[in-house]
Structure 1
Amino acid sequence: MIELKKILVGTDFSPHASVALRHAAGLAKAFNSELILLNVVEPADMMTQLPPIGESYFSPALIQAQEDYARQQGEEALKSIGHSPARFVLRQGSPFFEIIAAAKEEDVDLVVIGTHGRGAIAHMLMGSVAERVVRKAGCPVLVVREGDHEFVHP
């Protein structure tokens, strides 16, 4: 029988990520798993893929504001699912690298991540975080597309 002691769900607080969180919460309840909600704040230089000119594009105060907002959203998301044990983790860096690192450090049994249909050109240029996580994760990965799917416990 499969044991899912820890489930990591990556979120950017988008509608796609909310669907993934609902699926992860359903699995966590069904398997009595710990749920870890992960958000990654990307420094501006990483988001733009451009080298900084002099200092970073964003000040430490702006990065702190992003992190404060993410913490608030994370706590609200945890309250909305009503599952325990659950916790919110905030990291800074590239979402792909930080999801892989957190999954390894937390020794999770499953990563759940949302995806959306990006255009072909955007996908070629940026790739898909979900696709890269599937390729590199050391555990199973559930990729959830946005839609009207419900998690139903058998």
Structure 2
Amino acid sequence: MTMQYKKVLVAVDGSKEAEWALKKAIEVCKRNHAELVIGHVIDTRNYPTLEAYDMTIRDRAEEFAGEILNKYKAIADKEGIQAVTEIELGSPKVKITKSMAVKHNVDLIMCGATGLNAVERFLIGSVSENIVRTSPCDVLIIRSEKEN
């Protein structure tokens, strides 16, 4: 018996591991004739404190998110995979599994093993670890660039 995925969510943050996850998600979508959702969460938990010093930080975060999603969507389009993009505000640990995955009714979440926020990973655990624990569907954590 083989599992066929119909809708895949790849969570990206601009890291090299996120790009590896995107490339592997595209291959999974090709093999399964699946739809692809490329999602990014802007972590707003510290904004009230940071915006007191820099009022443009949220604008820059949204601009960065738009740039990486446009880049990743172009990669998917070039490979023949139609993708939708999604930006959400909040905690990535909550939004990926409790909001994006549910909203898009995905049956597989893919993400890199590590991302851009090494300090948070050290202090309270990684986003990918939380996705594994709280996901409503299958999860594939990408650790390597290798194609297989």
Q: Of residues 123, 126, 131 in structure 1, which corresponds to 2:124?
A: 126
What is the Cα deviation at residue 109 of structure 1? 0.7
Q: Which of structures 1 and 2 has the bigger CA Rg?
A: 1
Residue 137 (structure 2) aligns with: 139
- Correspondences of 1:57-96 after superposition (within 5 Å): 57-59=53-55, 61-81=56-76, 82=78, 83-96=80-93
Q: Which runs of 5+ in 2 are unaligned?
A: none
TM-score scaled to structure 1, two decimals?
0.81
Listed one character per residue, the Cα deviations across residues 38-60 of structure 1 (whole Å, up to 9, x for unaligned) are 011112616xxxx839x65542x
Q: Which amino acid aligns with 2:101?
A: A
Residue 99 (structure 1) aligns with: 96
Which SS does the other structure have where 1:52 is aligned? helix
Q: Tell me the number of residue pairs that the alignment of Structure 1 and Structure 2 aligns.
A: 143
Conservation of the 8 A alpha-carbon contact between 1:44 and 1:57:
no
Residue 10 (structure 1) aligns with: 11
Residue 113 (structure 1) aligns with: 111
Conservation of the 8 A alpha-carbon contact between 1:34 and 1:85:
yes
Conservation of the 8 A alpha-carbon contact between 2:18 and 2:111:
yes
Which SS does the other structure have where 2:4 is aligned? coil
RMSD of aligned C-alpha atoms?
2.6
Distance 1:52-1:85 versus aligned 2 partners, 3 A rule:
same
**Higher alpha-carbon deviation: 96-105 or 121-130:** 121-130
- Aligned identity (percent) is 30
What is the Cα deviation at residue 126 of structure 1? 2.3
What is the Cα deviation at residue 84 of structure 1? 2.5
Which SS does the other structure have where 2:85 is aligned? strand
Residue 149 (1) aligns with residue 146 (2): yes
Listed one character per residue, the Cα deviations across residues 9-48 of structure 1 (whole Å, up to 9, x for unaligned) are 00001101111111111101111111100011112616xx
Distance 1:62-1:37 versus aligned 2 partners, 3 A rule:
same
TM-score scaled to structure 2, two decimals?
0.84
Q: Which runs of 5+ in 1 are unaligned?
A: none
Which SS does the other structure have where 2:49 is aligned? coil
